[in-house]
A and B are shown apart, each in its own frame.
Chain A
Amino acid sequence: MKLRYRLQSTLAMALVELAMNGLASAQALAPKQGAGDSAILKRILERGSINIGHREASVPYSYIDEKQQVVGYSIDLCLKVVDAVRQRLAKPDLKVTFTSINVTNRIPLVVNGTVDIECGTTSNFLSRQEQVEFSPIYYITGTQLLVKAGSPVREIEDLKGKRVAAQQGSSNEAVIRQLNDEKMLDIRIVYAKDLVEGAMLVETDRVDAMTGDGGQIKVYAATKARPAGSLAVVGRFLTYDPYSAMMQRGDQDFALLVRKAFADAFRSGEAEKLYEKWFGPLGMKIEEDLKAAFRVQALPR
């Protein structure tokens, strides 16, 4: 009696174990559902919405358009992440809210959890990775010079002893300061609050050039110069600025979800289409560097 019972129970346990193993392997194959261990997904689920951090006037990356909608190339890519979150949480009606951020508060707001994912024009630096996690790279640019068309200035070395505008706290300003010291260029740096004020300093002849992220100043010269064609972008890349989206650090689950969403967009060619959608009308063709970055980061599923 006793023996039979024991035999039965052993058999039953073996069966249960077998079944559980099978379940586990099935689970490993199917995509994960629910928030799991991810603190960010849990808080999105709790709030019923995902909060995107956006810039106000960084055309065409991340800005508020005439209909007061937050739009742009970076935003469209982040919306791919939103789709992935909706699928993962099985909440197709998950709301999207927007918080406007600027250069000063963007890192603190990601760190303190106000913003779930930041979609602007933030360069992915190793030193910033001490504070935040980054998505794959979706845009590549570097520091260049905005000058008046017809200016003899071609490179930074031509600006010896001249005045150069830079956005406060930008990586562009840092590299000009460094080159100034190394090459003893005797450049006087004039600080501007944002790109448009810097450009205005060039247009009103207060400075001889402005430094900025090549992509952004090209967009400015192409769309905002008055009269059209009165501004030009010149010079080699003085820095390497790869743009990525920021999120809170230490949530591997969420970071993986973001990486997957971006890799999918790169692999399927959607990222290139989005580039064409936002930069094509400005007459800017996708560059080889970025195409290569898309290919390299399009990891297989």
Chain B
Amino acid sequence: MSHLEWSIIWRAGPFLLQGLATSFALLILAMFGGIIIGTIIAMVRLSAPRPLAWIAAGYVNGLRSVPLMMVIFWFYLLVPLFIGRSVGAFPSALIAFTMFEAAYYSEIIRAGIQGISKGQMAAALATGMSSLQAYHYVVLPQAFRRMTPVLLTQSVALFQDTSLVYVIGLHDFMTSVSVIANREARLVELYSFAAGVYFVLCFGASRAVKKINDRMAAA
């Protein structure tokens, strides 16, 4: 423990940055995909015919009950079986993350929609809107305004979760750190460095979320 050598991090810089870029790409794509799919699932659960709503609920509860590590692993192994050829680690991790996060986002969005009073929906329908229009013009804009901080907080958690793609050997930031740590046998330096980087990024992000939150509360 006594002779720490930090220069390794400097030398491995490009590799680590590449890993960080992969983490960000995963985060942003999975966030967009997850929120879109999550919104659809939430609407289905609240307003579609019962059997469809049950399927959506089953999907959400099913995915939420399996550790993310397992979901990633399963997608990587099973997707090639369905489409007949391998898709590579990144697309497969992206699909797994999007589907997984969609389940979590849909719960947040559902709670957001539920917080809107029933009168709003009834009023929209009374003006002659279809229920899709009512969601689009009345319910969702209000719900998203309320949910933005929670959605962003979940996304910060998602960013930390990207570290689990090591199970399929995709080089995100955490996996790149552990590759260097193991190759150079410098676990202490590299893991402390990772802790620092994650803290700075996630702390910064959660401060930003708080700012957004305060501004919205003030408005």
Contact = CB atoms under 8 A, between A and B. Distances in A.
Touch A–B, Cβ below 8 Å: yes
A56 B185 contact: no
B126 interface: no
Given A68-B15, A196-B187, A224-B185, A113 B85 contact: yes
B1 interface: yes
Query: Interface range on chain B: under 10, 10 to 19, 20 to 34, or 35 or more?
Result: 20 to 34
B81 A57 contact: no
| Secondary structure type dominating chain B contacts | helix
Interface stretch (B72-80, B117-125, B210-218): B72-80
B168 interface: yes
Contacts of A204: 1
A102 B182 contact: no
A162 interface: no
Contact of A197 (B14, B175, B183, B187): B187
A100 B169 contact: yes
Query: Interface range on chain A: under 10, 10 to 19, 20 to 34, or 35 or more?
Result: 20 to 34
B11 interface: yes
A247 to B, nearest CB: 14
A226 B169 CA distance: 29
A119 B185 CA distance: 22
A192 B159 CA distance: 26
Given A63-B183, A68-B15, A105 B85 contact: no
A190 interface: no
Contacts of A102: 166-167, 169
B169 A196 contact: no
Which of B15, B80, B88, B183 lies at the interface centre, i.e. has the most chain A CB atoms within 10 A of its CB? B183
A224 B8 CA distance: 14
A194 interface: yes
A56 B1 contact: no
Contact of A114 (B12, B86, B166, B181): B86
B187 A200 contact: yes
Contact of A59 (B81, B168, B183, B187): B183
Interface in B4-40: 11-12, 14-15, 18
Nearest to B92: A114
B186 to A, nearest CB: 9
Interface in A17-72: 43, 51, 56-57, 59, 63-64, 66, 68
A63 B12 CA distance: 14
A235 interface: no
A64 B18 CA distance: 14
Contacts of A105: 73, 76-77, 167-169
A204 B18 CA distance: 32
B77 A64 contact: no
B3 interface: yes
Given A68-B14, A112-B81, A199 B86 contact: no
Interface of B: 1, 3, 11-12, 14-15, 18, 73, 76-77, 80-81, 85-86, 88-89, 166-171, 175, 179, 181-185, 187
